[in-house]
Amino acid sequence: MGSQYTSAELNIKCQNYGLKHSHSLKGHPYDNGSVETFHSILKHEEVYLKAYEKLAQVQAAIVWHINFYNRNCISNVA
């Protein structure tokens, strides 16, 4: 149910780093649907298709895919 994301410890850590985290409210399960869709696309179009040898390769591929998605996929929807 995501209780780890609403814990007091996480809230304190976020405050210490000046972060504001978001999570769905109880009864609103669709808030994160677009992020879940993006993660699925990322895994199916990038991560599952390649065998990476180094962490740096994974990081570079993910950064490239995020930039591609933001520039091409999102802009075509709007």
Instruction: State yes or no: pLDDT of 73 exceeds 60.
Output: yes
Residues 46-61: pLDDT tens digits?
A: 889 889 999 999 999 9
Q: Give dist(CA 41, CA 36) in Å, integer.
A: 9
The residue type at 36 = E
Count of residues in the chain: 78
Q: Give dist(CA 48, CA 69) in Å, integer.
A: 17
Residues 25-46: pLDDT tens digits?
A: 666 666 677 777 888 888 898 8
Instruction: Report pLDDT for 24.
Output: 64
